[in-house]
Copies of this chain bind each other. A is one copy, B any other.
Amino acid sequence: MAYSGEPLRAEDLLFRPQHSLIDQSLHSKMGATTTNGDGFGIGWYGEGPVPAVFKSVDPAWNDRNLREVAAQIRTPLMFAHIRASTGTPVQRSNCHPFRHDNWLWMHNGSVAGFHDLKRDLMLAVDPSLYPDIEGSTDSETLFFLALTFGLTDDPVGAVQRAVGLVEDVAERHGVEHPVQMSAATTDGTSIWAFRYSSIGQTRTLFYSTAVEHLRALHPELEVLRELSDDARLVVSEPLRDLPGAWQEVPESSWGVVRGGHDDLQPFTPERSHAAV
């Protein structure tokens, strides 16, 4: 889940919505696994340009510190993630969101055959970035590949090149359909979201409709009056069953949310002919 808009309390984002992220960690309806209890994390922008992250391997639904802290945080931009491990250890350094300077990254999905591809992927990470990798997941590797390919200057192009590289390396190793990715990244101002998988069947990803449009549809809902005009959410599952509130990011697309505006474009991995 990613939020941007007027500063809200983290508590209101995490615990208040009907079918909230915390609730989803217990009873995911659309995710690949039905219980996501392998750690969670939030990242938010507050004091200073570098976001803070709170990550833990305790199940999110029982973390009392998370509740305490969430009640004290106001933030204009927050990422929140519940992890279901696809094999790598359950430890704080493998929890999302991952951070580099003022950037955050989180990812639902996996790199198929990661055990076999890992070394080649790690070799492709810029040597100056390499030592900052703290965990052992495919998700963090994707982030560092994107950083290597210029995430901070050209987020979409960098992710397209990172995904292309993974597909190149996978092809060399005989791994089919390596990438499964619903992902989001932010620099503290804009949120880029990506929905792509090599096989063309990616986990769901939604973004919220413009708030003014929603207010017109549901004038009776008080919660909408509390939201600022530029408030936007990107989620893997809708937080409420509210007609008109959620639009699905189409297969093989990326979108950006900035100052309440959004844009959707096709996502096309950039593969290197040399590598194939």
B-contact bits for A106-133, CB 8 A (1 contact / 0 none): 0000000001101100110001001101
Q: How far is the CA of A72 from the CA of B72 in the complex (A)?
A: 10
Shortest CB-to-CB span from A145 to chain B, Å, is 14
- A53 contacts the other chain (CB 8 A): yes
Q: How far is the CA of A93 from the CA of B94 in the complex (A)?
A: 11
Q: Which residues of B contact A30 (CB under 8 A)?
A: none
Stretch at the interface among A83-91, A185-193, A206-214: A83-91
Instruction: Check A85–B65 contact: CB distance below 8 A.
Output: no
Select from chain B the residue with minimum beta-carbon distance to A33: B26
Instruction: Check A92–B64 contact: CB distance below 8 A.
Output: yes
Shortest CB-to-CB span from A50 to chain B, Å, is 9
Instruction: Check B131–A116 contact: CB distance below 8 A.
Output: yes
Shortest CB-to-CB span from A77 to chain B, Å, is 13
Stretch at the interface among A34-42, A225-233, A236-244: A34-42
Q: How far is the CA of A255 from the CA of B91 in the complex (A)?
A: 35
4 A-B pairs closest in CB distance: A91-B91, A119-B130, A52-B68, A115-B131
30 CB < 8 A contacts A-B: A27-B34, A37-B59, A37-B62, A47-B71, A47-B72, A52-B68, A52-B69, A52-B71, A52-B72, A54-B68, A54-B69, A55-B64, A57-B58, A57-B62, A58-B58, A62-B90, A64-B89, A64-B92, A65-B65, A72-B73, A89-B91, A89-B92, A89-B93, A91-B91, A91-B92, A93-B136, A118-B131, A119-B131, A133-B136, A135-B136
